[in-house]
């Protein structure tokens, strides 16, 4: 069985480019693959539109999901669903809570006896830049005050995420985007991507600490020194209060353990390694 779900506002663009059925999308070869592993890939689609200007989309394709990934969808939503539908639903949940991510456009799945075989998830291009690319260009030109604004803004972004009882264990620097300024308030706004392990109703502080441990692991020391890391944690924990954090020391212990585990497994990331990613 094959199924496609597409936003009405984007259907005309897809039809204009011959994309209507599941196979049309999944087998489309006109894009540029920018990320690939044995379980999924990401392709950039530049599609002709009615006004003659190309519309840019990102399509993530999933191949033969692992059993644990299938079981994870049941834990989150109470029923089995595809990896594409999981990301579709997670993106809508983030946006509903005022947390920016990629805006979902469509998804499709091929199943056999109710079990996912392949699926795809399509989003709009984010109106911003990958945070690594942005920092490579701007960080050294920032004065101390601007660096602190960015760090505090990032802390508040994650506090909002966790106050919504959402957990993203893959909260690495390369999954973050800095958005175009909204024209008011703080100059830094953020978005997060890669939602296939997002957990709902994660109220315990350990989930938040686990997320932040991954983030701090991914921050190169050349940019984020001890002072800025302490500022990040202070901004996250203190101003409006992180309600889930009952015991600050236990929270920080979980965070540090997660960071050290990643360092032991992957080696601490440096600025030079980030430049090659």
Co-location of 141 and 78 in the same domain: no
Co-location of 87 and 190 in the same domain: no
Give the pLDDT confidence of 81-133 residue by residue, as tens digits.
999 999 999 999 999 999 999 999 999 999 998 889 999 999 999 999 999 99
179, β-bridge pairs: 128
Greatest pairwise CA separation for the chain in angstroms: 59
Co-location of 132 and 250 in the same domain: yes
Co-location of 237 and 101 in the same domain: no
Please state the φ and ψ torsions of residue 56, each to the nearest 5 degrees: -100, 125
pLDDT at 183: 58
Give the pLDDT confidence of 54-76 residue by residue, as tens digits.
999 999 999 988 888 888 999 89
Co-location of 172 and 116 in the same domain: no
pTM of the model: 0.91
Co-location of 71 and 108 in the same domain: yes
Q: What CATH number has the domain bearing residue 171?
A: 1.10.510
The domain in which residue 51 lies consists of: 2-124
Q: Any idea which residue has 């044995």 for tokens?
A: 38
Closest listed residue to residue 66, CA positions, set 35, 85, 40: 40
pLDDT at 184: 59
pLDDT tens across the length of the chain (277 residues) = 999 999 999 999 999 999 999 999 999 998 999 888 888 999 999 999 988 889 999 999 999 888 888 889 998 999 999 999 999 999 999 999 999 999 999 999 999 988 899 999 999 999 999 999 999 999 999 999 999 999 999 999 999 999 999 999 999 999 999 997 665 566 799 999 999 999 999 988 899 999 999 999 999 999 999 999 999 999 998 755 445 455 788 899 999 999 999 988 877 777 777 777 7
DSSP-derived secondary structure letter, 137 = H
Length of the chain in terms of residues written: 277
Co-location of 58 and 169 in the same domain: no
Closest listed residue to residue 161, CA positions, set 242, 255, 254, 77: 242
Co-location of 91 and 66 in the same domain: yes
Co-location of 92 and 109 in the same domain: yes
Closest listed residue to residue 30, CA positions, set 7, 9, 54: 54
């Amino acid at each position: 069985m094959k199924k496609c779900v597409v936003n009405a506002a984007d259907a005309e663009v897809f039809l204009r480019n011959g994309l209507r059925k599941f196979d049309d999308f999944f087998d489309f070869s006109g894009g540029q693959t920018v990320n690939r592993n044995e379980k999924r890939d990401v392709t950039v689609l530049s599609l002709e539109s009615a006004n003659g200007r190309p519309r840019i989309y990102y399509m993530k394709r999933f191949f033969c999901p692992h059993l644990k990934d299938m079981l994870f969808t049941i834990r989150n939503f109470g029923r089995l669903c595809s990896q594409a539908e999981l990301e579709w639903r997670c993106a809508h949940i983030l946006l509903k809570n005022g947390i920016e991510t990629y805006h979902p456009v469509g998804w499709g799945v091929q199943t056999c006896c109710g079990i996912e075989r392949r699926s795809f998830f399509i989003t709009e291009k984010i109106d911003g830049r990958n945070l690594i690319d942005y920092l490579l260009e701007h960080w050294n030109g920032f004065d101390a005050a601007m660096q602190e604004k960015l760090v505090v803004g990032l802390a508040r972004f994650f506090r909002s995420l966790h106050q919504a009882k959402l957990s993203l264990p893959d909260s690495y620097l390369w999954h973050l985007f800095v958005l175009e300024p909204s024209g008011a308030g703080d100059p830094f706004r953020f978005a997060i991507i890669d939602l296939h392990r997002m957990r709902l109703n994660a109220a315990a502080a350990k989930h938040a600490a686990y997320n932040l441990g991954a983030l701090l692991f991914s921050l190169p020391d050349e940019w984020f020194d001890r002072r800025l890391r302490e500022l990040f944690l202070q901004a996250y924990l203190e101003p409006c209060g992180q309600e889930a954090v009952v015991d600050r020391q236990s929270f920080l212990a979980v965070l540090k353990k997660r960071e050290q585990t990643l360092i032991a497994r992957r080696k601490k990331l440096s600025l030079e390694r980030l430049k090659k990613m």
